[in-house]
Structure 1
Amino acid sequence: MVLGPDGSRRQLALAAGQGGWFQDPSWSPDGQQLAYVSVAWPQAPPRAAPSAGPPQVQWPSAEIVLLRPWEAGAPAMVVWPETQQEALLSPTWSADGATLHVVRRRRPDPAGAPLAVADLVRIDLRAQQRAVLDTGVAPREVSAARDGTLAVIGTIASAPVGTAPDRLTPIAPDGTQRELASAETLQFLSTPRFDASGARLAFMAGSADPPSAGAPPDGRQTMPAGWTAPRVSTAYAHGLIGWPWVADVASGILRQVGVAGFDDVSGMAWVPDGTLLLLDGTGLALVDPAGSTQRLSGVAGYGLALSPARRS
């Protein structure tokens, strides 16, 4: 659904398939195309006799759909996985709009254990060519700055998905990397988003509390580069409570935005005035990095992207 600045709403598509949903919306830099992930579970096969062995784990399909919302009747373009054991997630655009970086999650052994491995894939939309990037990171989410720097949340590449703590790592166009944050310290990491300059990187994470002998110098608000603390993991009814954090990419200093925690954040975007727009389990909120929150009612969903054309 596209939500206009005047509050108007326009439905673009309906999820199809068994238990289908959409996620990870991403506008092209010119605001003309919208990429999102369409997920669906396959139809369950007939129940086999006990002698047939253990049932195979069902694997969802996930492809990237590209729409031109402002062109009436324009057909959708679909970037399909290359095999049934792949899922394409977290699309992010290059500055020229010609390339997508996506997370490819796949099962290396369909008949074996239900473990997944993940790769970062660059897709040339014009030449329809794909290249797996050897970054040393098994990604879960990716976001791009205008200069081509990628912010990747994931584990070391040798670890199967879900078996090691996530890390937030910017990867420069020349391949240099610098870890900014770890789930060993902040419970979890999600939703990385560069601001327009690429100098600041916002993301969602847990709190660095409770205070301890290793607490950052000025309490819970700021963490110098490289600071670590004992890991805290707290479960809530709807997942983990998270806070917006802002990283200075050059210095590595992290700052937790001093607002109340958010439940089940599924989207975040920088607004041109420097505030953050968040979508969580209760709806939209505008968050000032200085520490104030304004709730916006009447919107719910599973993902959020703000058009650079400021139409929606």
Structure 2
Amino acid sequence: MLHFYSYGFRAAVMSIVGLLCVATAAAQDVPPPAAPDLLSDLERQTTDTLRRETVQATFKGTRIINGHSVETPGAGTLIFLISHRFGTLNSGAYNFFGLDQATIRLGLEYGLNDRLTVGVGRSSLEKTYDGFLKYRALRQTSGARPMPVSITLFASSAINTLRYTDGVDYTLPRRLTYTYQAMIARKFSPNLSVQLSPTVVHRNLVDTRQMHNDVVALGVAGRQKLSKRTALMLEYYYRLPTSEDPGTRNAIAAGFDIETGGHVFQLHVTNSQGMIEKHFMTQTYGNFFDGDIYFGFNVARNFTLKPRL
């Protein structure tokens, strides 16, 4: 009886030990639940915080209405720009409210790289040829150490090629006008962008002693997005009182942008007949609120001549 009891006891102990070994082996085969990788999460959050992102599309094109925007075409991109103005709306039915008259400028702009742009153009007003350089000095960024604004520098020259018969010696230097401008812009939200443009225009020759060779102005412009492909544009150039010529006025304009794939089409009204700095900053004579309003449009078409790698 004792022998049977001892044998049964040993068998029970051996069974328990075997079950424990099997349970231990099974437990070793099943990986423990993964603990949260707090270090990786912390590194990821830190990286996101330190990442700097460039703010894109402060304005949709290189022009606001009359003046330039901080935008440049980008490396290898050529822009063909057509700017057109009819006559004033108050010119009457005989001139079909300005539609019988027209002023036009054709221009080309090319991005030598993502920051530097060179451009040329020809205006029918005073048969003027112009050329310019445009450089993106700073770009607005978000994230670590954000840059709050974008800054683009602009310099241009223009030459009047009209034939004069008044006996004045219009030599080449006397026909030249120079413009220097700094454009400072900020995109406050996906829908709203604002730009300030302090500007100096120097004319080598003016018509009378009462006119100024140097004109100093401050441009203020804004873009309010209305939908995915449309936006409202406003622009005003204020000249300092010491720069105002008799009979001239500050340039004001309002436009409606429509983006259609490869080009931007803009309809606008303004009191300025000219479409380069020499004209709209120093030779604007119309009173916008008296009906001296020129209706016009800008069409910009982009061509990629050098694809990005």
> Considering the TM-score relative to the shorter chain, is it more than 0.5?
no
More relative contact order, 1 or 2 (CA 8 Å, 6+ apart): 2
More helix by share: 2
Structure ID, larger Rg: 2
Normalising by structure 1, we get a TM-score of 0.30
Normalising by structure 2, we get a TM-score of 0.31
